[in-house]
Chains A and B, each alone.
Chain A
């Protein structure tokens, strides 16, 4: 059976049971609650941003893998969709290189 045939359950049925989707939903709620809790911890802004974005990446991976079914698609689809997108987003982070914030520190106080 091909990957796609497995993905649609052979009879045109989508994969994943209601129980699995319920579990993913609960995990997403749990991670959201953790984020709200962390927001009230007095952490440095950079550290807080890193933690929150890290948790959001886990949440988005869960959504893409299970709700958007990418885990059950062919590897080829994953390869044309995700790596290029991640690469482009990483290129945007060039703004966070040390020299790019130098101007903001040179402002007159």
Chain B
């Protein structure tokens, strides 16, 4: 083998010492986590869709006010948080610490608003409609089970995301962490937004009260 050929192999992205995907290990790790987490949500959504379609008397309790109006607004809030997050990542790559921190705080406020509105919606459903995870007035226990299971797991992800962004924001402002950390936390946040894009239509819009 000639020396040039040998150098060609050593410099190949697959020979070690480089990332073949040209990204850092944190980002690759987050992508792999997202793949596994998306399969968790997919399994829940697919099983929900199965019981939804195979139960002819599935309840349709969601009125325009409060459920649909609130959940639509929550979708708007979460989409807007993704916009502030992506702008925060762009600012971090420019090295603009002040703007990055502002955008991350705006994202966290949107996340907290989402959780707060969601909590009021759960409260209404539990206290006024008497829906719990195992019983409801329409005698379709799977309605509550799937609703609270799906939205609860998503809400947990949003809550963890807010804490994660808070830690990253603090570390980035202190100069402890870099723009790469902000970008990786952004990937997680967008994923949480993406999951809601399926939960909102499948759980809420498929059970609107048509009156």
Contact with B along A46-85 (1 / 0, CB 8 A): 1011001101100110011011110001101100110011
Asked whether A88 lies within 8 Å of B90 as measured between CB atoms, the reply is no
Asked whether B205 lies within 8 Å of A36 as measured between CB atoms, the reply is yes
* Chain A: CB-nearest residue to B34: A81
- CB neighbours (8 Å) of B85 from chain A are 67
Question: Interface on chain A toward B: helix, strand, loop, or mixed SS?
Answer: helix
Tally of B interface residues using CB under 8 Å: 55
Please give the distance in Å from A83's CB to the nearest CB on chain B.
11
Asked whether A45 lies within 8 Å of B194 as measured between CB atoms, the reply is no
Contact with A along B47-88 (1 / 0, CB 8 A): 101101111000000000000100010011001101101110
Asked whether A63 lies within 8 Å of B31 as measured between CB atoms, the reply is no
Asked whether B86 lies within 8 Å of A67 as measured between CB atoms, the reply is yes
Tally of A interface residues using CB under 8 Å: 56
Please give the distance in Å from B203's CB to the nearest CB on chain A.
10
Q: Does B20 contact A (CB under 8 A)?
A: yes
Partner of B198, one of A29, A53, A80: A53
Partner of A68, one of B93, B187, B201: B187
Q: Which residues of A come within 8 Å of B, CB atoms?
A: 2-4, 7-9, 12-14, 16, 18, 21-22, 25, 28-29, 32, 35-36, 38-40, 42, 45-46, 48-49, 52-53, 55-56, 59-60, 63-64, 66-69, 73-74, 76-77, 80-81, 84-85, 88-89, 92-93, 95-96, 100-101, 104
CB<8 Å pairs between A and B, sample of 20: A4-B22, A16-B90, A21-B83, A21-B87, A25-B79, A32-B200, A38-B205, A39-B204, A39-B208, A49-B202, A56-B197, A56-B198, A64-B190, A67-B86, A74-B20, A74-B21, A76-B20, A77-B28, A80-B21, A84-B35
Q: Which residues of B come within 8 Å of A, CB atoms?
A: 20-23, 28, 31-32, 34-35, 38-39, 42-43, 46-47, 49-50, 52-55, 68, 72, 75-76, 79-80, 82-83, 85-87, 89-90, 93-95, 179, 183, 186-187, 190-191, 193-194, 197-198, 200-202, 204-206, 208, 210
